[in-house]
Structure 1
Amino acid sequence: MISKKHLATIVFLFSLLFVNAQTTNIMVRAKAKDAKFIGTSIGGAKIMVLDAYSGEILDEGITSGSTGDTERIMKKDWGRGVDLSDDKTAGYMATLDIDEPKFITVKAYAPVNKKQAEVVSSTQLWVIPGKDITGDGVVLEIPGFVVDILSPQTHERIKASDKIWLEANIVMMCGCPVTKDGLWDANQYEVKAVITSSEGNSREVVLDQKDKPSTFSGETNLDKGLYEIMIYAYDPVTGNSGLDKTNIIVN
């Protein structure tokens, strides 16, 4: 049994290990679910590193770099201990100056430039002074799709006698394209426009990806009135989903 005197000595010696603040680096990455890393091409992910107990922000920044090696990430079997990233893959290197082990919360807001699609993913872990976390580092998964309605435009006035063109751009959360029979296969996804009148009546229109990658379209007619248009994408295999909304006037 350790005496109180010996225990005090052990605690004192342990505290000497962390008497001075040490720079500790933590690589943080945001990875789209069923896709690649979120980087410069789509504006990056906002990364925040906080003290888990006090909420103090210890470091923050935006991921930058490429979406990563498609072959490595999407086509090869992942082995234990094998990094999915390389030196060009998007990430943010957080730097902490800590003098004792710290329990932290790491958050990713992504994609930061697409507010209608942005989600928050987070985790918690202990960080030891001077013990860097590099390689893939801390990887936060970002589920969903980025959906941007291209047509009709917000508050557009359309004649009741005209066809209403429905069009949306849909990409993975990393910006990776969606195409028929492609790596991210449009045939696998359900994409619909849900059109709701001011009286609460709704109808659905199926949208299809045709000539242009990631662009889904369809058309319909509407009677005079005020309408909300929601276009959503859903993957029944992974559960990824995303949507965008707009409003129009038919007169």
Structure 2
Amino acid sequence: MKHPLTAALQGMACLLLVALQQPALALENAVTTPLKVLVRSEDAKFIGSKVGGLQVQVRDLASGRILAHGPLQGGTGDTAALMQEPQLRGRSATVGAPASFDAELALEQPTRVEISVTGPLGVEQSVQETALSLWLLPGEDRAQRPVILHMSGLIVDLVDYRVSAAGLAVTTQVTMLCGCPLDRDGLWPVSDFAVELQVLQDGERVAQQTLEFTGVENEFSGAVQLPGSGDFILQVTASQHSTGNAGVFQQPLRVSPAAQQ
């Protein structure tokens, strides 16, 4: 006759063995499900390596389990297909192997997932997040028919600034979220954008000035008079009239009396 403790230990061992075998059984029943994720900048091209790429995460909404994650890298895609040719139903704009995140998921059953994206990672103050949820079916190829997310916004970055007796002079760069260029006569004409320099102190706007296109791709500059010395926030805002795309750059600015002499 078995000792009660021995029987209990054997029972626990059996339960542990069954638990350890579950992933293997699940893996045997799982079906490889290809997935490709792309992210397009509103009114522009695909976001990728040019602006530091994006981080992608695919999560099972029922269990919370992370099914896949990693960087999204690559090019911005075919300009003509994305920006110049008619966008007809059933026509793919993903020609030219644009930036993507590729994964092969092991799915046993229809699974509702959340795909979340963070970036672009190359310019800290332009990083955004977006996500969508959808059903994925085991074996259903979502690489040939990829999932495309969209991000709104503009990248605004400071090139240079100088403080002198004449005031604060600033040069900034503004691009679409994919890094696509702003120019006088390009696909993204500077006439469609407003760029403004603002100086804040204690939460109040103490100076502002429209920044003008310099003639150099993406570049805007201008200057303002400062009300005196002290601690300020240098803020540059940019907006696109036709879409509402917007971006902001902010930086603390300490001005000493000596800097204004």
Same fold (TM over 0.5): yes
Query: Residue 244 of structure 2 aligns with which residue?
Result: 239
Q: 1 CA distance for matches of 2:133 and 2:202?
A: 44
CA contact (8 A) 1:85 1:136 kept: no
Aligned CA RMSD, in angstroms, stands at 1.8
Query: Residue 138 of structure 1 aligns with which residue?
Result: 147
Tell me the SS of whatever aligns to 2:204.
Answer: coil
Tell me the SS of whatever aligns to 1:116.
Answer: helix
Q: 1 CA distance for matches of 2:152 and 2:29?
A: 40
CA contact (8 A) 1:178 1:186 kept: yes
Q: In structure 2, which of residues 161, 185, 192 is the aligned counterpart of residue 188 of structure 1?
A: 192
The one-character-per-residue Cα deviations of 1:84-123 (angstroms, maximum 9, x if unpaired) are: 0125211111221111111100111121232211111111
Q: Are the structure 2 counterparts of residues 146 and 241 from structure 1 closer, same or farther at C-alpha, using a change threshold of 3 Å?
A: same
Structure 1 gap ranges (5+): 1-17
Structure 2 gap ranges (5+): 1-26
The one-character-per-residue Cα deviations of 1:129-155 (angstroms, maximum 9, x if unpaired) are: 1111123511000100011122328xx
Percent identity over the alignment? 29
1:21-36 aligned at under 5 Å gives the runs: 21-36=30-45
CA contact (8 A) 2:207 2:224 kept: no
Query: Residue 9 of structure 2 aligns with which residue?
Result: none
Q: In structure 2, which of residues 174, 199, 205 is the aligned counterpart of residue 170 of structure 1?
A: 174
Query: Residue 229 of structure 1 aligns with which residue?
Result: 234
The one-character-per-residue Cα deviations of 1:218-247 (angstroms, maximum 9, x if unpaired) are: 012212222111101111210100001012
Q: Number of residue pairs matched? A: 229
CA contact (8 A) 1:106 1:124 kept: yes
**Would you tell me which structure has more helix in proportion to its own residues?**
2
Tell me the SS of whatever aligns to 1:203.
Answer: strand
Runs of 4+ in 1 over 3 A off after TM superposition: none
Query: Residue 213 of structure 2 aligns with which residue?
Result: 209
Q: Are the structure 2 counterparts of residues 52 and 199 from structure 1 closer, same or farther at C-alpha, using a change threshold of 3 Å?
A: closer
**Greater Cα radius of gyration, structure 1 or 2:** 2
Query: Residue 7 of structure 2 aligns with which residue?
Result: none
Given the two structures, how large is their TM-score scaled by the length of structure 1?
Answer: 0.86
Given the two structures, how large is their TM-score scaled by the length of structure 2?
Answer: 0.82
Query: Residue 156 of structure 2 aligns with which residue?
Result: 147
Following TM superposition, by how much is the alpha carbon of 1:199 offset from its aligned partner in structure 2, in angstroms?
7.3
